[in-house]
Amino acid sequence: MATVILFNKPFQVLSQFSDRSDHPAASAAASTGDTRQPARATLADYLQAPGFRVAGRLDFDSEGLLLLTDSGALQQQITHPRHKLWKTYQVQVEGTPDAAQVAALQAGVTLRDGPTLPARVHVIGTPAQLWPRTPPVRSRLTVSDSWLEISIREGRNRQVRRMTAAVGLPTLRLIRTRIGDWSLEGLAPGAHRRLTVHAPQQRAPGSVRRPRAAAPRRKP
């Protein structure tokens, strides 16, 4: 058995338990000896989970469902591209999507690191269970905004944001609501719950999967 933590990551919280020194502000503070630089919020500000690792990161400026597990095999199953778990996002974009833009996202768009796989994309209304963000998304009276629900089976860096930008719909706010069968439902920002699940079988190090024996050929 394994344990999974479902965490609703707030805006501008790191998907890790410490603020590493590779952040520009932290690096500058370290080089000058300035300890007044404010540390960014991390998972440690919201939960204690020794022995747990994040299974599928979420950007600092994105919100929503983050999974942690104490099983290495389950972490690999969640994150490995081979398993292609669907990940669903509610995305607030600048502008009003037209049929051509939605169709382009559904078919897959070409990014700098290659074409994306086909996605599930729907225009939706403002989510009913939407919580206020701090700071709020900046609104402009002359530019409309809309919401999309986008599901993808990949995990490239900032992929959804790059996809919407590629079709002329810059992302203003991004909330991950589902990973596979795990959902954000019932979790307020900063809240979490633990589930016990069956861990996948993990082969011993160095073991080799034996190929199946070929079936004997029938004589004509």
Residue with tokens 């051509």: 100
- Cα–Cα distances (Å) from 82 to 30, 78, 205, in that order, read 40, 10, 19
Check residue 80 and report its DSSP letter: -
Q: What is the DSSP letter of 44?
A: G
| Active site (annotated) includes residue 98 | no
CB 39 within 8 A of CB 62: no
HEC sequence for 168-182? CCCEEEEEEEEECCE
Helix (H), strand (E), coil (C) string for 92-108: EEECCCCHHHHHHHHHC
Q: DSSP string of 145-171?
A: EEEEEEEES---TTHHHHHHHHTT--E
> Active site residue: 22, 59, 70, 181, which one?
59
Separation of alpha carbons 9 and 43, rounded Å:
8
Which residues form the catalytic set?
59
